[in-house]
Copies of this chain bind each other. A is one copy, B any other.
Amino acid sequence: MRPLFHPAIEDIQPEAILYALSDPERAAIFAWLAGAGCGGTCSALADLGDRTIPKSSLSNHFKVLRESGLIRSERQGVEMRNQTRCAELDERFPGLIKAILTAYGQLPEQWKVD
């Protein structure tokens, strides 16, 4: 398995973010991670919503999220812990992530401080 690629914060492209989150399934995964706080794993998502997502698709979703700069993934023993890069992202693209999650109606509770 090749090492995981994470773009530097300054290399993150807005089009990559929008593309990654233009898939509702990916957006839901991201929102779930954003709400979960601690690193969510891939298999914890076997069935997000009502459908069972094949694990190759799931793996690919995480890859897209990771390579667009939305999440950071780190192997921890046998599983892969994923966490959002929200703080960095909000600095680089102010208000973007929050506006997107809000648009999807998936803004995590703890973000609603305003």
Contact = CB atoms under 8 A, between A and B. Distances in A.
Interface in A16-30: 16-19, 21-24, 27
Copies of this protein in the assembly total 2
A37 interface: no
A42 interface: no
**Most central of A18, A24, A104 by chain B CB within 10 Å:** A18
A12 to B, nearest CB: 10
Secondary structure at the A interface, as helix, strand, loop or mixed, is helix
Nearest to A12: B103
A60 interface: no
B24 A100 contact: no
A98 interface: yes
A93 interface: yes
Given A15-B24, A17-B103, 4 more contacts: A93-B102, A93-B103, A94-B99, A99-B100
Per CB-CB distance, the 10 closest pairs between chain A and chain B, nearest first, are A18-B22, A19-B22, A14-B103, A93-B103, A95-B99, A96-B99, A99-B99, A18-B18, A15-B24, A96-B103
